[in-house]
Amino acid sequence: MFGEKVLASRYLLIKKLAAGSFGKTYLAEDTMLPGNPKCVVKKLNPIFNDSQLLDIAKRLFETEAKTLQKLGDRERIPQLLAYFTEKQEFYLVQQYIEGPSLSEKLIPGKPWSETRVIKLLQNCLNILDYIHSQGVIHRDVKPGNLICRQQDNRLFLVDFGAVKEVILNQSRLLSSTVAIGTRGYMPEEQARGKPRFNSDIYALGVIAIEALIGCSPLDLQEDEERELIWQQQAKVSPRLGEILSKMTRYNFKERYQSASEVIEAIDHFTNNSSLVQPNSGKYYDSTVVEKVIYNSVANKPSPVIREDSPPSKPIANSTQSKSNLPPQTLEKSSSKTDTKNDFLNPELIAFCQEQLAKYIGPLSDFVVKDVLTKNPQITLQQLIERLASEIPDSRKAQQFTTILKKSSSKTDTNHDLLNPELIALCQQELAKYIGPLSNFIVKDILTINPQINLQQLIERLAAEIPDSRKATQFKKNLLGRI
């Protein structure tokens, strides 16, 4: 059949991508356009000898078509290209997003770092915030429906086959709703056929937990109040743990009520003045962390970081103290930091930070700065051993040491065309659009792509900005300053 069947005298079916209770999805070619571009054709399979199911199928088809038509102009949501009926069967034609799904990247037994999970949450929450503002519940948020577009790694939310129009300010949901979703990611109210906007938030929270612990949500246990039991299995800071737990509350009334609420909570967390090393018993006082940053710039000894004591009261904003630095200190900061550890090139230091972050989380940046400030003449071997001592688990500390020793010789030649000033400029500009995670994202890209050039780096960083208009502005700003 494939390679022969043509629908609407236009769409040549190539292969079947998926099949479900209500239909099948095919990869196809549009033979009416130059180059026969690929597209996705979704066929709805009504059961015609059951009038009730036929009505459901028709309603789902019309809902999906109207919803996709309204949402498709937005970045990170596939465009609806056409919809039609043929031989009493319903068809949707959508933009084809080529690339692996998130389910292919969630490998059992290989948990993600907290930084990577935060980045995933921020990308997905921006999409949910938009579709919810349009009165739409996706109702099937799961790893298989999140596609990383191959050309730029942008994340797309696909398969709105189970969406339901919701009239805003309506006192109740329409009674003629259909319980659709995926087991493990679908909350209780959705299973009863009464989804809410925060049903999607629940699903995304479960995905984040799955990424953090490296196992399927179906393997998670529940406590007597039917809340998911997962934090003991995860390497997660307390605050992010609280955010994910609130996203996945059994009772929808106890969850975040909107995606924007979660975005605000995560933004506050990433700017948090009290940083805690995940599951290590080490607390890093916010004022001490600020002093580490200040002293690394002012070339003063840093305070000792205390262990096993609660963090101090939060301060307004960690960036505030930076703005209060003496002007002469700020002017001289780059030249002073550049002359330290001349035999440890910036790529090696960045690589150490990146690897350490896998074991102790986002605090790795501050720990490395503190070690370099206190020991300006430290050798690479000494640096590795000193950083390894920050990892509570001795087995993981040894693993960290082994990885760094094997990789250090390779990283010495990385990014010869990207000097530290250019990299710092990229981080600074990206921070204007995505906040403090920019530092980790730049390092992650440089580590994964050791031979990347400046143009490629700018394009790759722009792909991390959800708003396409802002992404274009980011590139324009950078190219104008280089």
The residues annotated as belonging to the active site are 140
290 within 8 A of 271, measured Cβ to Cβ: no
> What's the one-letter identity of residue 188?
E
Can you tell me the distance from the alpha carbon of 241 to that of 267, in angstroms, rounded to the nearest whole number? 14
Can you tell me the distance from the alpha carbon of 470 to that of 89, in angstroms, rounded to the nearest whole number? 41
Can you tell me the distance from the alpha carbon of 204 to that of 215, in angstroms, rounded to the nearest whole number? 15
b/e map 182-212, b = 16+ CB within 10 Å: beebbbebbeeeebbbbbbbbbbbbbbbbbb
- Phi, psi angles (nearest 5°) of residue 454: -65, -45
* Residues 134/139/144/149 CA torsion (nearest 10 deg): 0
446 within 8 A of 414, measured Cβ to Cβ: yes
- Scanning the structure block, which residue is given the tokens 């096993």? 308
